Structure 1
Amino acid sequence: MQSFTYERAASAEQAAAAVAARPDAKFISGGTNLLDLMKLDIERPAHLVDISRLPLDRIEETAEGGLRVGAQVRNSDLAADPRVRSRYPMLTQALLAGASGQIRNKASTSGNLLQRTRCPYFYDRNMPCNKREPGSGCAALQGFNRMHAVLGASKACIAVHPSDMAVAMAGLDARIETISPGGETRTIPIGDFHQLPEAMPHVETVLGHGEMIAAVTLPPPPAGRQVYRKVRDRASYAFALVSVAAIVEKSGDRIRSARIAMGGVAAKPWRATEAERTLAGAAASDGAFTDAAEAALAGAVGHGGNDFKIPLAKRTMRHTLAAAVESA
């Protein structure tokens, strides 16, 4: 690990200004991802601004009937909050499916959204990686790519975003509130927050340098039943091969509406809008679930080692939708 300087921010505005003042500065909160990357000489910040003690650790009701989750709320606290458990159960399910209890006790809401890929070539400085060193190439294209993207990838990068929490939040239409160095604020729909790789995979979000996440707002609970399902290699402490967050609202024996987000398949939480359109007004049947899964994966492309993800994602979506309908 290279040497670095450190300061503890007294306010969100001060933190944003401190990072913006130096191109080699970064925010640090729980550090569950950044410190690992620094030890491996992948991230090389010369200055760290600690935001972990800022008063952004509360979960508050909004006037619209939703919840505002502070950027420093720990994953364990968010998962355990009675309002989240009762009104946004798939968010609790997703959080508890991620990492381990010890990491959830440290990981923050904003850090979870901003965590970087776990692609082994990103972590190996001896291998080319456009996300780590732009223009160097993508070793995963012809390498070991079992965990990699089948949707939204490019010739420059096929890495996936590792978050479980962000997938559930994508299905819930969360909004991300940020603060800039000059004190300006903006609200970003979560679907617009993460960037697909295209030709610039090292640009992962729409945040500017020094712009800091202040909170995530959840809209009022959607109608229908919520289910989060994660398929992984082992029962705990493993990233998703495929995950599906589904909200299904029924009217009689037909589906009134559905929201579906997927994880483990793209560089961002993937909203399956074609599947949602397919399900609207359809009979709540295995046939409709199959049609939705086919629509969701219509543009999927495997790269050899991850070809199995396409049928796996379809099966996972069918089972998740069936579970949501059954519980409804």
Structure 2
Amino acid sequence: MNVLLSAAFVLCWSSGFVGAKLGTEDAGATTLLMWRFLPLAAVLAGAAVHRRGRSAWRSLTPRDLTRQAVIGLLSQSGYLLTVYYAIQLGVSSGTTALIDGTQPLVAGALAGPLLREYVSPRQWLGLCLGLGGVALVTTADAAATRGVAWWTYVVPFAGMLSLVAATFLDRRSRTQVTPAVSMTVHCTTSALVFTAMAFMTGTATPPVSASFWLATAWLITLSTFGGYGLYWLVLQRSGVTEVNTLMFLMAPVTAVWGAAMFDEPFTMQTALGLGVALVAVGLVRGASSRTPNSPKDQTEAAHSQTRAPSQAGVYWPSE
């Protein structure tokens, strides 16, 4: 059962990159994002004002809600805009997924200087290998894709750094926020941001093509509700380490999916780069899965299983 749930989670989360590719073939990134988040925000806001959903909001201060709005601005608005824009510019979905997938490695490396957490030499080696894998895949994608400027590959890196910023902002918060509340605030913030951007750029009117609305429905159901819902289910059943490990399967799954569905380039160099990235993940995971010995370590390890996934070390938005 856990294997099936894990497989479904990987497929649903990877579908976000594929849905972005499908949707941006008929419309710009802001149009697709506006019509993705408006229905989401309406449904979640309706659930929030319902009598059963009010209790989770009562203990939160305006400062807590503002912090969540900023986290949503970084982890959803900034991140997804760069992902969709990069794919719209011609970067393959698999390459975009791999670049964004280095976020835990970068966050882990920066945890030492920013959060005063121990970062081992093995973790630094994993980071360097992971970046090497990204470089291999990126250069292979650039060589196989004509008409795509070199600077377009910087765009998903900006999104990855936005995720890193959201991670550290969230980890510095001591207020517990339920998933329903954080998702509502994040999606409402994104709906406001993308709607404003769409109207300012004159791109609010959606196309009439069936593929656009298919992509929109795909992103809402599979990527948000499916991916995010299964995230929490797998987290509850298997723990933080298992979820974070599954996250690194997104890049190879997306690369194969994109090659099959959109004929995106998948060369030997692409496969080599993905392999190097997975080895890097193994190194970082092995170095971070030490057994807690002290009472403090045991308390922190047990507590990490009950915190939100962003507070457990890695921040992953609903793709």
Measured against the shorter chain, the TM-score band is under 0.3
TM-score (norm 2): 0.25
- Greater fraction of residues in helix: 2
Larger % of strand: which? 1
The normalised TM-score by structure 1 is: 0.24
